[in-house]
Amino acid sequence: MRNRFIRHMAISAAIAISIVAAEASAHKLREAGAAVEVADSNVLVTPTRDWNRVSGRIGKNVETWTLDGTQLNDVTFFAGIAVGNPLVKERSKKHEPLPKFTKDTLLIEIPELLEGTYRPYKRLATFEIRNVEPTEFLGHDGILFAYRYSDRDGLTKLGEASASIIGGKLYMITYDAPRIYYFERSLEDFRTLLRSARLS
């Protein structure tokens, strides 16, 4: 019995250590002034202030950066989503499929694609696309749009995103933050980061 107890304790301790270790390396600093590749892709950004790269990816070719934690400001890079893939990894391909980026997807349908992904993925009840405009993104014709939604905690968030379809792949950078205080506060930081993005 004692042996069993010791083994139990050892296993628990090992799990605890691995959790602590994972916590310690959870985020990586992205320092101001250094150009970095995002999401193992050919997208390069040069931050003008320090950002945190969140470890753990929500999808292939997707990377998330934050200043104060993803609940308060979340910049997500979708760097080259290939045809036939969803924006983020599906929790269950069979039971909770997400809409896919297809070869027929038009630039103007990208806000709908993001909405169709956010609603089931973040289990949102409301999502409103507010403003859609043409823009230049990564040196190509792109789309700039703003949106607003209420998340599961009843917190209203605002978002802004720029996207483009380049070489049959979808490139997009989104910024989500709570409507109260945080969105405005870091909007310029996001826009500066966005303007620094280029293809290598």
Partner 1 sequence: MVRAPLYVAIGIMLATSTMARTKESPPLPPPYQGVYQPIGVDEIGRWREDDERERILTASPMLIRDETLTNYIKSVLCASVGEDRCDSVRIYVVREPIFNASMTANGTMRVFTGLLLRVRNEAELSAILGHEFGHFEQRHTLNHFKKYRTGTDLLAWGSVLAAMAASLEARQNYQNLELAVYGDLYRYGRDQEREADFLGIAYLNRSQLRPQAASRVWQNVMAEAEASAQVRGLKRPNFSAIAFAASHPPSAERADYLAELADPAGEGRDDGAARYKEMLEPWLPMLLDDQIKLNDFGASEFILENLAEDGWTAPLLFARGELYRRRGNPRDLVFAAEFYSSAVMMDETHSEAHRGLGLTRYKLGQVAAGQSALQRYLELAPEASDASMIRLMLPKKEEE
Q: Considering the complex, what minimum distance in angstroms separates the CB of residue 37 from partner 1?
A: 30
Q: How far is Cα 75 from Cα 161, in angstroms, rounded to an integer?
A: 9
Distance in Å, CB of 138 to partner 1, minimum: 18
Nearest to 170 by CA among 142, 191, 129: 142
Q: How far is the CB of 16 from partner 1 (least distance, A)?
A: 21
Tokens coding 104: 């027929």
- Given the rule CB under 8 A, which residues bind partner 1? 1, 94-95, 97-99, 102, 104-109, 111-112, 115-116, 119-120, 125-127, 129-134, 143, 150, 154, 156
Nearest to partner 1 of 23, 112 (CB atom): 112
Q: Tell me which DSSP letter residue 174 carries.
A: E
Structure tokens at 54: 């969140």
The C-alpha atoms of residue 75 and residue 171 are separated, in whole angstroms, by 13
Q: Which is nearer to partner 1, 39 or 113 (CB)?
A: 113
CB atoms within 10 A of CB 83: 14
Q: Closer to partner 1 at the Cβ: 38 or 113?
A: 113
- As beta bridge partners, residue 142 has 135
Q: C-beta of 136: minimal distance to partner 1 in Å?
A: 13
- 41 vs 117 by CB, closer to partner 1: 117
Smallest separation (angstroms) from partner 1 to the CB of 3: 12
Cα 71 from Cα 117, distance rounded (Å): 18
Return the number of the residue (143 or 193) whose C-beta is nearest partner 1: 143
CA distance 172 to 140: 12
Instruction: Indicate the DSSP class of residue 109.
Output: G
- By C-beta, is 72 or 129 nearer to partner 1? 129
180 Cβ neighbours under 8 A, 6+ residues apart? 156
Least CB distance from residue 129 to partner 1, whole Å? 6
